[in-house]
Amino acid sequence: MKYFIIALFCGIALTAQNNHAHHDSIKNLEEVKVQNAAKKKIETEMKMAVSVDEFLSSSDNISFIKRGAYAWEPLLNNMSTERSQVTIDGMHIFGACTDKMDPITSYVESNNLAAIDIKSGQEGSLHGATVAGSIDLKRRSTAFSLEPKWKGTYQTGFEFNNKQFFNLGNVSFSRNKFVAEGSISYRTADNYFDGNNDEVKHSQYNKFNTSLGLAYKTSDLSSVRVDAIFDVAKDVGFPALPMDLWLSRALITSASYKQLFEDGLFRVVDTKIYYNAIEHYMDDTTRPENLVHMDMPGWSTTYGLVSKANLKKNSYSSEISLNAYDNLSIAEMRMYPQDRSNRTMFAFSWPWVTTRFAGLAMNNSWEISEKSQINMGGSLGVNYNYSKYVEFNWIFHPGASQEKTRFLPSLHAGYQLNIEQFNFSVGTGYGHRAPSVSEGYGYYIYNSFDRYDYIGNPDLKNEISYEGNASAGFKNDRFSIQGKVNYFYIQNYIIGRILSMGSPMNYQSVGVKGYTSLDYATLLNLSMNVSYDILEHLHWKGTLTYARGTDDKNGNLPFIRPLSYLTSLHFMHKNFGIQTSVNGDLEQINYSPEYGEDLTPAYTIWNLSADYTFKINKLRSTIQIGAENLLNEYYSTYADWGNIPRMGRNIFTSLKVSF
C-alpha cells in the first residue's frame, strides 16, 4: 500500500482523475467528493504519522525551502510558491506573511487531508494561472452510507530529537442523508538538535488544528456540504530568520453544492463559495541580538467561488472550472526606536493590495484508441490588482499604476501512448502568470537569505512560460521504470536584482533589491523512478532527480536541487513491516552567489523504521518505531535558509488506532 504513494504523485496525469470521476456509482452518491475516488494515504513510505510537509516532501517534484522545523515552503518543479497554485479543495488561500513563513500547507494538518494532488506545469492551470503547476490539498470527505456508521482514527506519537508530541484524532458519522466529520490535532515540539548534537535554537513549534465538515443529501443526486478548518500556530521558532512567529491563525470555510446527472453530457457540477481569513504576527522579542524591535503583522482575507463541471461522452471527457476570488493582503511594519519616547516608525510592507481573479479553465481528453489518449486544455484568466496606498510603491516606481488588469491565457496539450508494458507521453504548455503581491507591491521585504530588502514593481510584465514534457516507462509484474523530463523556458522571469538607489531599512540588510524581469530563464527537471520486487515481500525502489536552472546570462538560478537520490527497501510480512531508506543530495555545484547561495556539500541520510499491526478488540492498531538520520549526520541542504543544519538523529514512535 504505502509502496505506491509516491508512484501516485508521479502519475500527475489529469486523465486518471477524470476517469475515476465517472466510474463512481452515481446513483447512490456514495462519494460526496467524486474526485477523491483515488485514495491516497497521507503517510510516507518511512513514516505513517507525518506532517503535511513531510508528506509533500516524499514527492519527486516537490522540494522545500526550510526556515526551521515548521512551515516549509514547497517548491514545485524547483519553482517557488509564486509560480505555483497551492489550493485547498480548489480554494485559493494566500499566506499573510511577507517572509513566506506561512505557506498554505502550514494551515492544514495531515488528519484533515485525504490526498494531495500535484499537477506539473500548465496542467495545473485548472486551479488558476500558474507556471510551475498546482498543489491541491484535498480534504477528507466521508461518503454517505446506507447504514449509520461511525468511524474514527486516533494517532499519537513522540519524536525524541525535538520532543515532538502529537495527538491527532478524527471521527466521522455517516448516514444515508447526512455526514458529519471532524478532526482535531495538537502538535508541540521543542528545539531540535543537529547532527553535532547542538541545539538549534528557536526551532520549537506548537500547532493546533481542527476541522469540521457537514454534508446533507438534498436529493438522490445532489448534496450540500459545509466545511471549516481552524488552525492556530503559536510560539513557532524560525531559526533561519531574525524573528519568530508569535501567532498565526487561519479560518478556512466553504459551502458547496453538488449536483450529479444520470445521463447527458454533464456528469457532475460542484459549486463552492468560500471565505478564509489568515492573520500572522511575527515576534522578534525572543531575539536579544536584534537591534530594533519591530512588529510585523500581516492579514490576508479571501472570498471566492469555484465551480467545476465534469463532462463525458463516449471517449471524450472534460473538466471545466470557473474560478473567482478576491483577496486583500495587508502587511505592516512598525519599528521601535531605541529611545522608546521617540516616535515609532511605520510603513506597510503590503500596502493593502487587492487581487481579484476570474478565470475559466478547461481540460479535455479523448481516448483515441485503447492505447492512446490526447489531452488538451486551456484557460483564460483576468487578474486585477489594486494598491490602496500606492504612494508606497511610487517611492521606487514614481507614477506606477495603482490599478492593473492583466489577461492570463494558458494552453496545454499532451499525448499518451501505452504499448503493452511500455508507456510514453509528450506534452507542451504555454501560460502567463501575474506577479505575486510581494513581487508587485512588496515594500522593503527583508529576505534574510541574501540579506536584501525587496521592493515590488507594480508594472512588471506577465511571466510567460513555455514548457515541454515527456515521459517513458516500462512496467511488468516485478519491475518498473519510469523516466520523466520537463523543460521550462520562462520569459520575463521575475527575480530580485540589486537596485542602485535606496538604502536598506532593516538593519540586518545589506542593500535593496527590486523585483525585475529577466529576459528569460530556463529550468530543466529530470527524474527517474525504478522499483523492483526482489522477493514476494521484499521491494526495492529508487529515485533519482536532477534539475538545472539558468538565467538569461547563463548564471545559476537559486534554490535548484542538485542531483539527489533515494533508495529504499521495504519488507512486509503478515502484520510486520520494516523499511529502510538512504537518500541524499550530491554537492550543489551550480549554486548562485548572487542570491546568497554558497556551495552546499553532499550528504547522505539513512533512515529505518518498523511497524506492527494488531487488533485490540475491534480496533485496528499500528505501532511504528523508527529513526531518521540514523547516523546522526550533520548536514544542511541547498534549500535550507541560511544553511541552518537539519535535524540530527531522530527516533520516532507512533501509534495509530482506528475503528
Partner 1 sequence: MKFFNFLVIAFFALASCTLDKTDYEAETGLEIPELSEFKEAVSFTSGNYKVSIEALNGTFYKGYNELRLKVLNAQNNQRVNPSAVTFLPIMTNSDNVPSSCPHQYNLEYDAANNYYSGYSVFTSESDASGNWKLYISFTVDNQKYEINKQVTVEKQSNKNLNMTAFTGKDGEQYCIALIAPQKPKVAENALIAGIYKYNKPTTAAGTFPDPSQFSYSEVMGYTLKLDPRMPEPSMGNHSSPNNRDLTQQNDGFYHGVVNYTMTGNWTLNLILMNQNGLILKGTVVPSDFTPGVEGVKSELYIDTLF
Is there binding between residue 389 and partner 1 (CB under 8 A)? yes
346 touches partner 1 (CB under 8 A): yes
- 344 touches partner 1 (CB under 8 A): yes
Binding track over 184-203 against partner 1, x by CB under 8 A: x-------------------
| Cβ proximity to partner 1, 277 vs 413, nearer residue | 277
Quick one: 51 or 509, whose CB is closer to partner 1?
Answer: 509
Residues 6+ apart with CB under 8 A from 190: 162, 163, 164, 204
Q: Does 148 bind partner 1 (CB under 8 A)?
A: no
Please measure the distance between the N-terminal and C-terminal CA atoms of the chain and give it in whole angstroms. Answer: 19
Mark the segment that binds partner 1 (CB under 8 A) among 5-13, 326-334, 374-382, 582-590.
326-334
Residue 641 is a binding residue for partner 1 (CB under 8 A): no
Pick between residue 10 and residue 243 the one whose CB is nearest to partner 1: 243
CB of 110 to partner 1, least distance (A): 18
What is the spatial distance between Cα 281 and Cα 223, in angstroms, rounded to a whole number?
A: 38
Residues numbered 45-64 forming contacts with partner 1, rule: CB under 8 A: none
- Check if the beta carbon of residue 515 is closer than 8 Å to that of residue 98: no
Is residue 374 within the footprint of partner 1 (CB under 8 A)? no
343 near partner 1, judged by CB under 8 A? yes
Q: At its nearest, how many Å lie between partner 1 and the CB of residue 462?
A: 26
Q: What are phi and psi of 177, to 5 degrees?
A: -120, 0
391 sits near partner 1 (criterion: CB under 8 A): yes
C-alpha cell of residue 172: 466521522
Under the criterion CB under 8 A, does residue 396 sit at the interface with partner 1? yes
Rounded to whole angstroms, how far apart are CA atoms 393 and 502? 13
DSSP for 139-194 reads EP-PPP-SS-EEEEEEEEEEETTTTEEEEEEEEEEE-SSEEEEEEEEEEEE--EEB
Q: Are 207 and 109 in contact (CB under 8 A)?
A: yes
Handedness of CA 267, 429, 639, 61 (dihedral sign): positive
Residue 573, Cβ density class (10 Å: 0-12 exposed, 13-18 middle, ≥19 buried): exposed
Nearest residue to 447 via CA among 492, 505, 389, 521: 505
Residue 37: strand, helix, or coil:
helix
Closest CB 647 distance from partner 1, rounded Å: 30
**Cα 154 to Cα 180: distance, rounded to the nearest angstrom:** 17
Binding mask 98-127 for partner 1 (x = CB under 8 A): ------------------------------
Amino acid 643 reads N
**Binding letters toward partner 1, positions 254-293, x by CB under 8 A:** -------------------------x-x---------xx-
**215-244 residues near partner 1, rule: CB under 8 A:** 228, 230, 232
Choice between 11 and 169, CB closer to partner 1: 169
Q: Residue 466 interacts with partner 1 (CB under 8 A)?
A: no
Of the candidate spans 88-96, 434-442, 473-481, 502-510, the one that interacts with partner 1 by CB under 8 A turns out to be 502-510
List beta partners, residue 278.
250, 300
Does the protein bind partner 1 through residue 540 (CB under 8 A)?
Answer: no
Other beta carbons within 10 angstroms of residue 227's beta carbon come to 24
Q: Which three cell numbers stand for residue 58?
A: 516524499
Partners of 327 in the beta sheet?
302, 355
Residue 149 binding partner 1, by CB under 8 A? no
Q: Does 532 bind partner 1 (CB under 8 A)?
A: no
Determine, following the binding rule CB under 8 A, whether residue 495 of this chain makes contact with partner 1.
Answer: no
249 binds partner 1 per the rule CB under 8 A: yes
CA–CA dist 106, 109 (Å, integer): 8
Cβ–Cβ under 8 Å, residues 268 and 17: no
Residue 437 binding partner 1, by CB under 8 A: no
The reply to whether 499 sits near partner 1 by the rule CB under 8 A is: yes
Q: Name, in order, each residue with C-beta under 8 angstroms of 487's C-beta and a sequence gap of 6 or more.
A: 467, 468, 469, 522, 523, 524, 525
Q: Is 503 in the site for partner 1 (CB under 8 A)?
A: yes
Per the CB < 8 A criterion, the answer to whether 225 and 256 are in contact is: yes
Which part of the chain contacts partner 1 (CB under 8 A), choosing from 86-94, 424-432, 505-513, 580-588? 505-513
Check residue 19 and report its DSSP letter. Answer: H
CA distances in angstroms from 158 to 44, 183, 210, 607, 653, listed in the order given: 17, 19, 20, 17, 5
Q: Which one of the spans 44-52, 328-336, 545-553, 564-572 is the region binding partner 1 (CB under 8 A)?
A: 328-336
State the nearest-atom distance from the C-beta of 497 to partner 1, in Å.
14
Least separation in angstroms between residue 507's CB and partner 1 is 4
Q: Long-range pairs for 23-31 at CB < 8 Å and ≥24 separation?
A: 26/221, 26/260, 26/261, 26/262, 26/267, 27/220, 27/221, 27/262, 28/144, 29/144, 29/217, 29/220, 29/221, 29/223, 29/260, 30/143, 30/144, 30/145, 31/141, 31/143
Residue 11 or 504 having the CB closest to partner 1: 504
Q: Which is nearer to partner 1, 480 or 516 (CB)?
A: 516
DSSP string, 302-321: EEEEEEEEEEEETTEEEEEE
- What's the min distance (Å) between Cβ of 393 and partner 1? 9
Instruction: Output the nine-digit C-alpha cell for 77.
Output: 518543479
| Contact between 548 and 563 (Cβ < 8 Å) | no
Residue 496 CB, nearest approach to partner 1 (Å): 16
Return the number of other C-beta atoms located less than 10 Å from residue 542's C-beta. Answer: 16
Residue 247 binds to partner 1 (criterion: CB under 8 A)? yes
657 touches partner 1 (CB under 8 A): no
Nearer to partner 1, 351 or 645 (CB): 351
Asked whether position 333 contacts partner 1 by CB under 8 A, the answer is yes
Q: How far is the CB of 343 from partner 1 (least distance, A)?
A: 5
Nearer to partner 1, 241 or 505 (CB): 505
Which of 44, 61, 210, 438 binds partner 1 (CB under 8 A)? It is 210
- The distance of Cα 246 from the centroid of its chain, to the nearest Å, equals 23
Nearer to partner 1, 254 or 465 (CB): 254
Q: Should residue 345 be labelled a site residue for partner 1 when binding is judged by CB under 8 A?
A: yes
Residues lying near partner 1 in the complex (CB under 8 A) are found at 171, 180, 182, 184, 210, 212, 228, 230, 232, 247, 249, 251, 279, 281, 291-292, 295, 297, 299, 330, 332-335, 337-338, 342-348, 389, 391-392, 394-396, 398, 444, 499, 501-505, 507-511
